[in-house]
Amino acid sequence: MHITLRIWRQTNPAGPGRLVTYELSDVTEDMSLLEVLDLLNLQLARNGEEPIAFDSDCREGICGSCGLQINGRPHGPLKGVASCQIHMRTFKENDTITIEPFRAKAFPVVKDLVIDRTAFDRIIQAGGFISVNTGGAPDANAIPIPKNTVDAAFEAAACISCGACVAACKNASAMLFVAAKVAHLGRLPQGEVERKERCLSMVAQMDAEKFGACSNTYACEAECPKEISVDNIAFLNRELLRAKVF
Ligand code: FES
């Protein structure tokens, strides 16, 4: 199939960026979008041109590296999938696909489609962990936890920290990301001990990174490749109130 790609090219964080158009004819519908970028990069390299910089690792929706704004939407037109899981059968012959980096002040562009998401790392460093000794897996399995609690924690733990929630939000809020981490750890007995400090520290770091306030539009939930529920934001707000009052 033939497709036209419009791709954001930017040589460095300070430089101006622009959309550059590329025509590709030897694309098959079974190719993933990232494989199409690989194909284009091969052609660019053969022509002595600079390949397009983009992030990827697992290419199966697990690691969260591949955040791309595809035709104006974080991770593209399909629901519940990451950019690496988009295949060309999603598009039609002669379609034009516009690919840009996620846009947010807290995620500056490094080069082309690569953004700096270390703001998320610093939020995790602020409290997104359990530092008490929780024993081995058999010990964890010996702790009785209600099924609905486990399910809610597991659903929150599905967050892959890709940043689509930030890119989708008109305020570039990281509330869904922080809420997923706080809910994942805070709902379980292993995370109970540090519950208060975790919530306060992660929210303080989120604010320090200049993410915006929650816009209450649910755009984050709609675009999240793991379909993390905004119910977790309600959980985070309750946790924050509890941590400040008690
Ligand atoms: S490359 Fe890992 S989620 Fe896409």
List, in sequence order, every beta strand (DSSP E) within 25-162: 69-70, 73-74, 96-100, 109-111, 114-115
- 101 in the same domain as 129: no
**pLDDT in the model for residue 236:** 97
- 139 in the same domain as 99: no
- 231 in the same domain as 134: yes
- 184 in the same domain as 225: yes
- 164 in the same domain as 189: yes
- 69 in the same domain as 91: yes
- 78 in the same domain as 22: yes
Domain boundary among 93, 111, 129: 111
% of the chain exceeding 90 in pLDDT: 94
Band (pLDDT 50/70/90 cuts) for residue 140 is confident
- 159 in the same domain as 62: no
35, 37, 54, 56, best to mutate for ligand 1 pocket (most atoms within 8 Å of CB): 56
Q: Which domain holds residue 205?
A: 118-245
For residue 211, is pLDDT > 90?
yes
Mean pLDDT of the residues in the chain: 96
Residues 6+ positions from 220 with CB-CB distance below 8 Å: 164, 165, 166, 168, 169, 173, 175, 176, 228, 230
**pLDDT in the model for residue 181:** 98
- 241 in the same domain as 125: yes
Ligand 1 site residues (CB inside 6 A) read: 56-59, 61-66, 82-84, 160
Residue whose Cα lies nearest atom 3 of ligand 1: it is: 61
Residue range 6-54, pLDDT digits in tens: 999 999 999 899 999 999 999 999 999 999 999 999 999 999 999 999 9
Residue range 155-200, pLDDT digits in tens: 999 999 999 999 999 999 999 999 999 999 999 999 999 999 999 9
Band (pLDDT 50/70/90 cuts) for residue 246 is confident
- 126 in the same domain as 106: no
